[in-house]
Chains A and B, each alone.
Chain A
C-alpha cells in the first residue's frame, strides 16, 4: 500500500507522536530517522506524497534534504522552532511547502498535512481560478468573490491576492511576494507590501484588525487561509 506521509525525525518519541496523530486521521505513513533513510524511502516506488521533515538530523543538514525531497515530487512540511525565522525562510526558499512550529499542536499539524495533500491530489480544474477560505479569485475574468459578493481590487491588490491564492494555505515569503507583484527591484521595499496587505484586508476581511484570511507569519511571509 502506498504510504502518503514520510516522517523524518531522529527522535523516536516525536515519530511515535506523529504516527499516532496520522493514524487517528487515517493517513498512512513511513518513518525515517536519518536523511539517508528519508531519501531511500522517497526513491522507493510508490513514493510518499508529503514529507514531515525535522531539520536537526544526525547525518545531514535538514535544509539540504528539502531540495532533494521536493525534487523527488514530495511536498515538504518542515518542523521548526517558533523564532527560527531564518530557518523558515531558507526552507521555503529551498522549496519547502510549509512549516509547523514546535511544540506543535497536532490539530494544526493535521490541518497543514491535509492542505498539502489537497494541493497535491486535486489541482484546481480551472487553471485560472483559485479557491480560498470564504471566496475565490479568477485570473482571466479578474473577478474576486468573497462570501458570494464581488470585490473591486486595484490591479496591484489583485496581483497580490493571486500570488497568495495560487498556493492556498502555503506561506509565500515577503521577498517572493515583492518580487512577483512589484518586480525584482523592489525586494527590499517591505513597506509597499505592508500597505498593500492592509488595503487588501480592508476589502476582504470582516474585521481588518483581526485578520483571518490574509495571515502573516512574522518575519517570514504571508499565507492565505485555505478552504477547509
Chain B
C-alpha cells in the first residue's frame, strides 16, 4: 500500500497511521516500523495505540542517526508494517542504501507494507518534475517498486496546502527552506497534483486491464509492441532511458536497452565509460533488459537489433547540433530513421550540454600524423632521386604508396592527412612549374584531383576495414577466452582446483581480484585466491546476502555496497553453488560496462562447473551407498538365514512341550518370546527386501476367503491368545493380487491390533466389497489411535503410548509397502465406538468378474 502525495504536507503519514489503527481494530497485526511525526501532536497521537519498533541508532562521523530497524521488523514479522518515506536514503553502513530496498525485502518476507511517497520521487517522473519546478530531488525510487503496489492518493487542493503551509503545519527541512518555498506556488502544486492523480489513474488502469486480460497474470503486453532504446554514453542517455520507460509503460510493452560498441570504442574511455555504465544501470533498474552489440555501423546495428528483438518502437536521443556538425559526422538518429522499416522511431531531443563531454585528446594522433608526414616526405625524396629513371606517370602511383601505408597502419585521420600532403607534394615538386602550387596543364589537375580522391577513399576504406577487424578480433578474443575458460574448468574434479583456476582466469580476463565463497557446513569458505583467504565482517555479510538471496551484492550494487567486494551468485538448477567475489584495488567500478557480457558468461561457466562437481560427487556417493547397501543386504540375508534355523528348532521344541505343570508359565513365556523373535526376524528380512526394491508382486486371481482362512490358520499357530473373528461378505468379488504379500500385510495389521488389545478381547477381520474396491478391515477394541498419526506407517515409528507393547516398529511400514506394491491403499482411523480400524483397500479391476456373474457358467 503506497500513500502517494503531490507534495510534502498533504497528510500522507497521518492518513497511513489512521488506516493502520483501523486495520489494527479489525484484528490485523500491525506494527509501525518508522513514522516521521515532525513534532506534530495530531500525528503523534495516532501512534499511541500502535506498536512502534525502536529505531536503530547509527553513529556516522560523529552524528547520531536513527534509522528504521529492518532486522527487528523481519524478526517481529507482523502482518502489516508502516514504513514512512519510501524514498529515504539510509545512513551509510545500513544493509541497503535505500529504504525502498528495505521495503522490498520486507515484502519478500511476506510482510505487507504501508508506506508514503511524493510524486517527484518517482524515477520516470523525475525529469518532468524538475522541468517545471526547477527543483531536482536526488532521492528517487524505481517505478517497478510501485508497479505492484496498491496506490492511495492523499489529495489536498493546492490552496488548502498553501493554507496549511502558512499555518506552519507543513514540516520543511530548514536547509531547503528557500528552494522549497518556491516549490509551493499554486501553479506548481496544481501541476504536481495533476501528475500524481494521472500516475495513480494510470496504475489503476493497468490493474483493471490486467484483470480483464483473460486472467493471465503477466502475459499482458499489447500484442506485438516491443520497445528498444539506444543507450549512449552521454549524460542525456539517462533522459532517453526515462523517456523510453514512460513510453513502454504507456504501451505496456517490454523494453530493451541496447548499446552499440565499436564505433565509439576508442572514444569511450574514462568518464564516458562510467557514464555508460550508469545509464545501463538506470535502464536495468527501470526494468529494461540489457544488451551490448559490437558493430561499426551504429545505425545499421541498431536497426538489425530492433528486427531481431521484433521491436516495434525505437527510442533514440538526438542532440541539437549545428547542421554543419551533422553533415560532417552524420546523425545516428537520422540514419536509423532512414533505415528502419515498419518501426516507429521516437527521437528525444537532447541539449548539447547533455551530450558527450569533449573527447580527451588522443595522445597517439599527433604521432600518427608525424609518421604519415614522414612517410610522404620519404616517398617524395625517393622519387626525387630516381625521377630520371621512371616515367612521369609512375610518380603519382609511387606517391599513393605512403598514403595507403598510412591509411592501413595508422589512424584514419593520419591517412587522410597523408593523402592531402601527397597531393600537395605532387603539385609542388613534380608538376610544371615546379616548386609552386600553380598547375598549368589540365592533365596535372586531373592527376592531382585523382590522387587526392584515391588517397582519401583508400584511407577511408582501409581505416574502416581495420576498425572492423579490431572489433571482430575483440569478439573472437572474447569467444576464445570463454572457450578456453570452459575447457580449463571442464578438466577439473575438485572444488579447490576449480576455484583456483576460475579465479585466476577471471582475474586476468577482467583485471580484477577474484575469489569464490561458498556455504559449507554453516561456515563461509573462501577459495581460489591465495591473497584472500578470509573476509571481514562487512564483506562476509555481503557474501552471505548474495548466497541467500541469489542476487548481486556488495560494491557498486544496491545492497551492502560498503563491502570492498562485489558478489555474484553462482546459480544453477541445483541451487546457488556459491558466489564469485570481485574486487579492484583501484577506484572506479569493479566491472566495466563493456565487460558485463563477458562476466555474465564467465559466471555461467563457473556455475556450470560447480554444478558438474556436485553432480559428480553425488554420483560417487550414490555408488558408494549402493555398494554399502548391497553389502548390508547380503549380511542381513545371511544373518537372518543363520538365525532362522536355530529359531525353528527352538520354536518347534517349545511347542512340543505341553505348557502345564510346575513350569507351565515358563514354557508359555519361552514359546511366546520365541514366536516374537521369529516375527522380528521376518520383519527385518521383509524390510531389507523392501529397501532393495525386491518386492515384485506376482498377481493372480485370488479369493479373499482363502487368504482369510490362511491368516486365521497362521494366528492359530501364534497362540491361543490370538483371538480373531472373520466376517466376510459371501459374494465378495475375486481380486487380482499377490496372495503372499496380501496375507503378510493382513497378518501384520492383525498383529498390531492384537498388541493393543486387552487379553481376551477380539479382533475382527471384516472383508467387504464396495463399488470399485474391496476392503479388508481389521478392527480392535483397544485404546485407539493417538490424535497425531502422521508417520503411523513410517519405519521405526512408534506412536505415543505404544512403548509398552514392544515390536520392531516395522510391521505397519511393511504392510504399507506391500499394499502400495499391490496398487492398493492402507488407512487407519478410530472407530466410533472406541478402538482402532485399519483398512486395506484393493482396487477392483474392470476385468475382475463378479462371482455372481460367473457362477452361472461354472
Q: Of B703, B726, B858, which one neighbours A156 at CB under 8 angstroms?
A: B858
Across the two chains, which residue of chain B brings its CB closest to A192?
B858
Q: Is the CB of A106 within 8 A of B709?
A: no
Q: Is the CB of B854 within 8 A of A191?
A: yes
Q: Contacts A195-B851, A216-B710, A218-B707 known; A14 to B648 CB distance under 8 Å?
A: yes
User: What is the CA–CA distance of A16 and B653 in the complex, to the nearest angstrom?
Assistant: 10
Across the two chains, which residue of chain B brings its CB closest to A10?
B645
User: What is the CA–CA distance of A104 and B717 in the complex, to the nearest angstrom?
Assistant: 9
Q: Is the CB of B655 within 8 A of A197?
A: no
Asked if B706 lies at the interface with its beta carbon under 8 angstroms from chain A, I say yes
Encoded as 1 (CB less than 8 Å from any B CB) or 0, chain A from 88 to 113 comes to 00000000000000111110000000
Across the two chains, which residue of chain A brings its CB closest to B652?
A17
With a cutoff of 8 Å between Cβ atoms, the chain B residues found around residue A219 in the complex are: 698, 700, 738-740
Asked if A199 lies at the interface with its beta carbon under 8 angstroms from chain B, I say yes
Q: Of A103, A104, A154, A194, which one neighbours B734 at CB under 8 angstroms?
A: A194
User: What is the CA–CA distance of A152 and B649 in the complex, to the nearest angstrom?
Assistant: 47
Q: Is the CB of B854 within 8 A of A103?
A: no
Q: Is the CB of A102 within 8 A of B648?
A: yes
User: What is the CA–CA distance of A103 and B648 in the complex, to the nearest angstrom?
Assistant: 5
With a cutoff of 8 Å between Cβ atoms, the chain A residues found around residue B651 in the complex are: 103
Q: Contacts A195-B851, A218-B702 known; A20 to B656 CB distance under 8 Å?
A: yes
Which of A28-36, A116-124, A204-212 binds B? A204-212
User: What is the CA–CA distance of A79 and B524 in the complex, to the nearest angstrom?
Assistant: 63
With a cutoff of 8 Å between Cβ atoms, the chain B residues found around residue A210 in the complex are: 709, 712, 726
With a cutoff of 8 Å between Cβ atoms, the chain B residues found around residue A187 in the complex are: none
> Measured between C-beta atoms, what is the minimum distance from A105 to chain B in Å?
6
Q: Is the CB of B647 within 8 A of A103?
A: yes
Asked if B619 lies at the interface with its beta carbon under 8 angstroms from chain A, I say no
Across the two chains, which residue of chain A brings its CB closest to B728?
A209
With a cutoff of 8 Å between Cβ atoms, the chain B residues found around residue A209 in the complex are: 705, 708, 726, 728, 730
Asked if B646 lies at the interface with its beta carbon under 8 angstroms from chain A, I say yes
> Measured between C-beta atoms, what is the minimum distance from A197 to chain B in Å?
7
With a cutoff of 8 Å between Cβ atoms, the chain A residues found around residue B648 in the complex are: 14, 102-104
Q: Is the CB of A194 within 8 A of B702?
A: yes
User: What is the CA–CA distance of A201 and B855 in the complex, to the nearest angstrom?
Assistant: 12
Q: Is the CB of B656 within 8 A of A194?
A: no
With a cutoff of 8 Å between Cβ atoms, the chain B residues found around residue A11 in the complex are: 645, 649
User: What is the CA–CA distance of A29 and B842 in the complex, to the nearest angstrom?
Assistant: 48
Asked if B723 lies at the interface with its beta carbon under 8 angstroms from chain A, I say no
User: What is the CA–CA distance of A16 and B646 in the complex, to the nearest angstrom?
Assistant: 12
Asked if A146 lies at the interface with its beta carbon under 8 angstroms from chain B, I say no
Q: Of A13, A195, A216, which one neighbours B858 at CB under 8 angstroms?
A: A195
Tally of A-B Cβ pairs under 8 angstroms: 95
Q: Contacts A17-B652, A17-B656 known; A191 to B734 CB distance under 8 Å?
A: yes
Q: Contacts A190-B701, A195-B734, A211-B709 known; A218 to B739 CB distance under 8 Å?
A: yes
Asked if A21 lies at the interface with its beta carbon under 8 angstroms from chain B, I say yes
Asked if B285 lies at the interface with its beta carbon under 8 angstroms from chain A, I say no
Query: On chain A, which size bracket covers the interface?
Result: 35 or more
Asked if B676 lies at the interface with its beta carbon under 8 angstroms from chain A, I say no
Across the two chains, which residue of chain B brings its CB closest to A160?
B858
Interface of B, secondary structure class, is: helix
Q: Of A17, A83, A195, which one neighbours B855 at CB under 8 angstroms?
A: A195
With a cutoff of 8 Å between Cβ atoms, the chain B residues found around residue A191 in the complex are: 701, 734, 849, 854
Encoded as 1 (CB less than 8 Å from any B CB) or 0, chain A from 193 to 228 comes to 011111101000000111100011111000000000
Asked if A85 lies at the interface with its beta carbon under 8 angstroms from chain B, I say yes
Q: Is the CB of B710 within 8 A of A218?
A: yes
Q: Is the CB of A216 within 8 A of B703?
A: yes
Most-contacted residue by chain B among A11, A16, A17, A106 (CB, 10 A): A17
Q: Is the CB of A194 within 8 A of B649?
A: no
> Measured between C-beta atoms, what is the minimum distance from B730 to chain A in Å?
6
Interface residues of B in 665-695 (CB under 8 A from A): 678
Across the two chains, which residue of chain B brings its CB closest to A18?
B652
Q: Is the CB of B703 within 8 A of A197?
A: yes
Asked if B777 lies at the interface with its beta carbon under 8 angstroms from chain A, I say no
User: What is the CA–CA distance of A137 and B702 in the complex, to the nearest angstrom?
Assistant: 27
With a cutoff of 8 Å between Cβ atoms, the chain B residues found around residue A218 in the complex are: 702, 706-707, 710, 739-740, 743
Q: Of B645, B706, B708, which one neighbours A14 at CB under 8 angstroms?
A: B645
Q: Is the CB of A215 within 8 A of B649?
A: no
Encoded as 1 (CB less than 8 Å from any A CB) or 0, chain B from 630 to 663 comes to 0000000000000011111101110110000000
User: What is the CA–CA distance of A103 and B643 in the complex, to the nearest angstrom?
Assistant: 12
Encoded as 1 (CB less than 8 Å from any A CB) or 0, chain B from 708 to 722 comes to 111010100100000
Across the two chains, which residue of chain A brings its CB closest to B739?
A218
User: What is the CA–CA distance of A182 and B849 in the complex, to the nearest angstrom?
Assistant: 18
Q: Contacts A13-B646, A209-B705, A209-B728 known; A106 to B655 CB distance under 8 Å?
A: yes
Encoded as 1 (CB less than 8 Å from any A CB) or 0, chain B from 818 to 851 comes to 0000000000000000000000000000000101
With a cutoff of 8 Å between Cβ atoms, the chain A residues found around residue B740 in the complex are: 83, 85, 218-219
Q: Of B646, B647, B703, which one neighbours A198 at CB under 8 angstroms?
A: B703
Asked if B744 lies at the interface with its beta carbon under 8 angstroms from chain A, I say yes
With a cutoff of 8 Å between Cβ atoms, the chain B residues found around residue A14 in the complex are: 645, 648-649, 652
> Measured between C-beta atoms, what is the minimum distance from A159 to chain B in Å?
12
Q: Is the CB of A17 within 8 A of B653?
A: yes
Across the two chains, which residue of chain B brings its CB closest to A193?
B701
Across the two chains, which residue of chain A brings its CB closest to B655?
A105
> Measured between C-beta atoms, what is the minimum distance from B808 to chain A in Å?
18
With a cutoff of 8 Å between Cβ atoms, the chain B residues found around residue A21 in the complex are: 656
User: What is the CA–CA distance of A31 and B498 in the complex, to the nearest angstrom?
Assistant: 70
User: What is the CA–CA distance of A219 and B744 in the complex, to the nearest angstrom?
Assistant: 13
Q: Is the CB of A208 within 8 A of B730?
A: yes
With a cutoff of 8 Å between Cβ atoms, the chain A residues found around residue B703 in the complex are: 194, 197-198, 216
Q: Contacts A85-B740, A218-B739, A219-B739 known; A199 to B706 CB distance under 8 Å?
A: no
User: What is the CA–CA distance of A17 and B702 in the complex, to the nearest angstrom?
Assistant: 36
User: What is the CA–CA distance of A16 and B600 in the complex, to the nearest angstrom?
Assistant: 80
Across the two chains, which residue of chain A brings its CB closest to B714?
A82
Across the two chains, which residue of chain B brings its CB closest to A104?
B652
Most-contacted residue by chain B among A16, A157, A197, A198 (CB, 10 A): A198
Across the two chains, which residue of chain A brings its CB closest to B705?
A209
> Measured between C-beta atoms, what is the minimum distance from A185 to chain B in Å?
16
> Measured between C-beta atoms, what is the minimum distance from B666 to chain A in Å?
19
With a cutoff of 8 Å between Cβ atoms, the chain B residues found around residue A82 in the complex are: 714
With a cutoff of 8 Å between Cβ atoms, the chain A residues found around residue B739 in the complex are: 85, 218-219
> Measured between C-beta atoms, what is the minimum distance from A164 to chain B in Å?
14
> Measured between C-beta atoms, what is the minimum distance from A80 to chain B in Å?
11
With a cutoff of 8 Å between Cβ atoms, the chain A residues found around residue B644 in the complex are: 102
With a cutoff of 8 Å between Cβ atoms, the chain A residues found around residue B702 in the complex are: 194, 218
User: What is the CA–CA distance of A218 and B710 in the complex, to the nearest angstrom?
Assistant: 7
> Measured between C-beta atoms, what is the minimum distance from B735 to chain A in Å?
10
Across the two chains, which residue of chain A brings its CB closest to B674?
A103
Q: Is the CB of B656 within 8 A of A83?
A: no
Q: Is the CB of B858 within 8 A of A17?
A: no
User: What is the CA–CA distance of A55 and B629 in the complex, to the nearest angstrom?
Assistant: 28
> Measured between C-beta atoms, what is the minimum distance from A176 to chain B in Å?
15
User: What is the CA–CA distance of A89 and B180 in the complex, to the nearest angstrom?
Assistant: 100
With a cutoff of 8 Å between Cβ atoms, the chain B residues found around residue A154 in the complex are: 858
Interface residues of A in 140-181 (CB under 8 A from B): 154, 156-157
With a cutoff of 8 Å between Cβ atoms, the chain A residues found around residue B712 in the complex are: 210
> Measured between C-beta atoms, what is the minimum distance from B718 to chain A in Å?
11
> Measured between C-beta atoms, what is the minimum distance from B365 to chain A in Å?
94
User: What is the CA–CA distance of A144 and B705 in the complex, to the nearest angstrom?
Assistant: 24
> Measured between C-beta atoms, what is the minimum distance from B645 to chain A in Å?
5
Q: Is the CB of B652 within 8 A of A103?
A: yes
The 9 closest A-B pairs by CB, nearest first: A216-B706, A218-B739, A13-B649, A103-B651, A103-B648, A191-B701, A195-B854, A190-B701, A209-B728
Interface residues of B (CB under 8 A from A): 644-649, 651-653, 655-656, 678, 698, 700-703, 705-710, 712, 714, 717, 726, 728, 730, 734, 738-740, 743-744, 849, 851, 854-855, 858
Interface residues of A (CB under 8 A from B): 11, 13-14, 16-17, 20-21, 82-83, 85, 102-106, 154, 156-157, 190-192, 194-199, 201, 208-211, 215-219
Additional A-B contact list (5), CB under 8 Å, known A103-B651, A156-B858: A17-B656, A102-B644, A103-B652, A191-B854, A218-B743
